[in-house]
C-alpha cells in the first residue's frame, strides 16, 4: 500500500474541527492512496522510521478514520477527541452502557449528564467512570442514536 | 480425552521417559487457568484489578509479570467486559507474557517482531516501550493480520509499523534493529491444552516444515540485528527440532546464549535423541504442563 502525507485541512472537517487540530498538532497525517482512503496519525519519530521503510506498509501509527464523502472518525480516534473535548459529551449510566455496547441506541432515561449540545450533532459517549465508549447523535427527543461503539470489537466476526 | 497419535506418544517417552510422558499427557487434560495482561498504555494493574474485582472477578498476580493476573473466579466471560472492549487488557496465557519481558525493550528503541499476529506480544512490547520508539511487526497471514490490527487499535498503540509479509522481507529494508522477537511459527504441541484437536495434527512432516521456517527466520534475525543486540526466540511446542536444535543453529551463525532474567522454568535438553548439545543451550528454558502448570513453552535469549 502507498500513502501520501496530508494536512488536517485536507480532511475537510465539518465536526470536531478544533479538537482534531489539537490532537494532530506536531504530528504527521498519512492517507492511503487507493480505493480506501484511510488516514493514520504518526509521531515525527515514527514517521522518520516509516520513511525508511516506505513501501508495503500494512498499517502504521494511530488509525484516525477514513475519508469518504466526509471524514469518518474511527472508534479509537473518538477516544483521542474525548481527551481534549469539553463541549460535546454525554454521560450514560450502567444500563445505558450495556445497551450502547450492544450497538443499540440510548433512551434519554439512561443519560445522566450532558454538555450543552445542539440537536443532531455528533457527541462523545462516556460512562460513569469517564471511559469513552463511542460516538452518537443527540436527537431532539433527548435519545441518542448509536453511530459507533466499542462493542464492535466483540461483534466483529472472524 | 486427548487423542495423541502413536508417533507423538513415542517421542514424549524418548524425551521424558515413560513416567514423564504419562504425566505430561495427563496434565494436558487439565483445563488451564485463564490469564490477562494489563495494557499499561491505558491503565495500571492496581486500577484494573480494582475495577474487575468490583465486578466479581478474582485476580491473582503472576509472579514473573507485574502486569499479569490469573483470573481465578469470574461471573461471566472475561472477554466481554467493558474494560476489555476499551482496551484495558489483553487475554494472554501466563507463559506468553515472558518473551516481551525478557526482551525488555526500552522507550526509544527500534524493535522488530517477526511473527506478530494476533499481537499478544507486539502489544506487550509497545506497552513496555511506553508507546514510544518504534516496533515493526510482520506476519504472513492475512486473517491473523486483521486480528492484529484490531488488537493494536483496541489497545491504543501509536508506535507500530506493520507489514503483511514473510519476515525475511526485513532483509530488504535498510533498518538495523536494537532488539528482535521471534515468537516462531511452530507445530504448536504446547497448545494442546487449549485446543485438544491439535494433538492429532502433530506429525514429523509438520515438525520438519516448521523447523525449516524457523531456521530461515533466525538467519534473517541475525542479519538485521545490530551488533550487541538481542534476540528472544520462543515457541509453544515440545519438539527439540524446533527448540534446542534451532538454538544450536543460531549459535553456528554467531549468536551467544544468555541466561534468562526473569523466569526459572526447566532447563532445555542437553541431549536430544542421542545427540549431545553444547552446555550453553541449557540456559534456554522450557515450561511443561506437568511441571509448571502452564502451557508448553520454550524460550531462549540470544545476543549477537
Ligand atoms: C506463534 S504465532 C505468533 C503469535 C504472536 N507473536 C502473538 O503473541 O500474538 C506465529 C505466527 O507466525 C506467522 N508466520 C508464519 N510464517 C511466517 C513467516 N515466514 N514470516 C512471518 N510470519 C510468519 C503465522 O501467521 C503466525 O501468526
Q: What is the Å distance from ligand 1's center to B167 Cα?
A: 9
pLDDT attached to residue A35: 86
**In A, what residues contact B, Cβ < 8 A?**
41-43, 45-46, 49-50, 52-53, 56-63, 74-76, 79, 97, 101, 127, 129, 131-133, 150-151, 153-154, 156, 158
B97, B116, B121, B139, best to mutate for ligand 1 pocket (most atoms within 8 Å of CB): B139
Helix or strand holding residue A53 (H, E): helix A44-53
- Ordered per-residue pLDDT tens for chain B, 304 residues: 677 788 888 999 999 999 999 999 899 888 889 999 999 999 999 999 999 999 999 999 999 999 999 999 898 899 999 999 999 999 999 999 999 999 999 999 999 999 999 999 999 999 999 999 999 999 999 999 999 999 999 999 999 999 999 999 999 998 999 999 999 999 888 777 667 777 777 788 889 999 999 999 999 999 999 999 999 999 999 999 999 999 999 999 999 999 999 999 999 999 998 899 999 999 999 999 999 999 999 999 999 9
pLDDT attached to residue B199: 72
> What are the structural domains of chain A?
3-83 (3.10.450), 87-155 (2.30.130.10)
The per-residue pLDDT of chain A, averaged, comes to 94
Whether residue B161 and residue A151 make contact (CB cut-off 8 A), yes or no, is no
* Closest Cα in chain B to A45: B133
Gap between the Cα atoms of B108 and A79, Å rounded: 24
Instruction: Walk across the sheet containing A38-42 and list its strands.
Output: A3-6, A28-32, A38-42, A62-67, A71-73
pLDDT attached to residue B1: 67
Tens of pLDDT, residue by residue over A96-109, are 999 999 999 999 99
Gap between the Cα atoms of B206 and B8, Å rounded: 12
| Whole-prediction pTM | 0.97
Q: How far is CA A156 from CA A58, A99, A101, in A?
A: 20, 17, 13
B145 contacts in chain A (CB < 8 Å):
58
pLDDT attached to residue B3: 77
Say if residue A158's pLDDT is above 50. Answer: no
Gap between the Cα atoms of A12 and A51, Å rounded: 26
Confidence band of A157 (pLDDT split at 50, 70, 90): low
Amino acid at each position: 500500500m502507498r500513502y501520501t502525507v496530508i494536512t488536517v485541512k485536507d480532511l475537510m472537517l465539518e465536526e470536531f474541527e478544533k479538537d482534531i487540530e489539537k490532537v494532530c498538532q506536531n504530528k504527521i497525517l498519512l492517507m492511503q492512496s487507493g480505493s480506501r482512503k484511510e488516514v493514520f496519525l504518526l509521531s515525527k519519530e515514527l514517521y522518520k522510521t516509516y520513511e525508511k521503510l516506505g513501501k508495503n506498509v500494512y498499517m502504521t501509527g494511530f488509525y484516525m478514520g477514513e475519508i469518504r464523502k466526509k471524514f469518518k472518525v474511527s472508534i479509537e480516534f473518538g477516544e483521542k477527541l474525548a481527551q481534549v473535548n469539553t463541549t460535546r459529551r454525554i454521560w450514560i449510566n450502567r444500563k445505558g452502557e450495556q445497551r450502547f455496547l450492544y450497538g443499540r441506541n440510548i433512551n434519554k432515561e439512561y443519560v445522566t449528564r450532558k454538555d450543552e449540545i445542539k440537536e443532531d450533532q455528533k457527541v462523545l459517549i462516556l460512562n460513569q467512570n469517564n471511559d469513552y465508549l463511542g460516538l452518537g447523535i443527540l436527537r431532539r427527543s433527548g435519545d441518542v442514536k448509536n453511530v459507533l461503539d466499542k462493542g464492535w470489537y466483540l461483534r466483529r466476526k472472524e | 480425552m486427548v487423542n495423541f497419535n502413536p508417533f507423538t506418544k513415542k517421542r514424549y517417552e524418548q524425551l521424558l521417559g515413560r513416567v514423564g510422558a504419562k504425566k505430561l499427557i495427563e496434565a494436558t487434560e487439565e483445563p488451564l487457568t485463564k490469564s490477562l495482561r494489563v495494557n499499561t498504555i491505558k491503565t495500571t494493574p492496581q486500577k484494573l484489578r480494582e475495577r474487575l474485582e468490583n465486578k466479581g472477578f478474582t485476580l491473582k498476580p503472576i509472579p514473573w509479570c507485574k502486569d499479569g493476573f490469573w483470573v481465578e473466579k469470574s461471573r461471566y466471560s472475561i472477554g466481554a467486559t467493558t474494560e476489555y472492549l476499551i482496551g484495558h487488557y489483553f487475554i494472554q496465557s501466563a507463559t506468553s507474557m515472558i518473551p516481551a519481558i525478557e526482551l525488555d525493550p526500552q522507550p526509544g528503541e527500534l524493535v522488530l517482531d517477526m511473527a506478530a499476529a494476533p499481537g499478544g506480544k507486539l502489544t506487550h512490547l509497545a506497552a513496555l516501550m511506553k508507546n514510544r520508539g518504534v516496533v515493526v511487526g510482520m506476519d504472513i497471514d492475512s486473517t491473523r493480520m486483521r486480528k492484529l490490527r484490531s488488537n493494536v487499535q483496541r489497545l491504543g498503540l501509536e508506535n507500530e509499523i506493520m507489514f503483511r509479509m514473510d519476515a525475511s522481507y526485513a532483509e530488504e529494508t535498510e533498518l538495523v534493529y536494537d532488539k528482535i522477537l521471534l515468537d516462531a511459527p511452530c507445530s504448536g504441541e504446547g497448545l494442546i491444552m487449549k485446543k485438544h484437536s491439535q494433538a492429532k495434527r502433530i506429525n514429523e512432516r509438520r515438525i520438519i516444515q516448521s523447523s525449516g521456517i524457523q531456521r530461515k527466520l533466525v538467519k534473517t534475525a541475525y542479519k538485521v540485528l545490530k551488533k550487541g543486540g538481542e534476540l528472544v526466540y520462543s515457541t509453544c511446542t515440545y519438539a527439540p527440532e524446533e527448540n534446542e536444535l534451532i538454538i544450536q543453529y543460531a549459535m553456528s551463525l554467531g549468536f551467544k546464549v544468555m541466561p534468562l532474567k526473569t523466569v526459572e522454568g526447566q532447563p532445555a535438553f542437553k541431549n536430544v535423541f542421542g545427540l549431545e548439545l553444547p552446555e550453553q543451550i541449557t540456559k534456554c528454558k522450557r515450561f511443561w504442563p506437568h511441571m509448571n502448570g502452564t502451557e508448553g513453552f520454550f524460550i531462549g535469549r540470544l545476543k549477537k
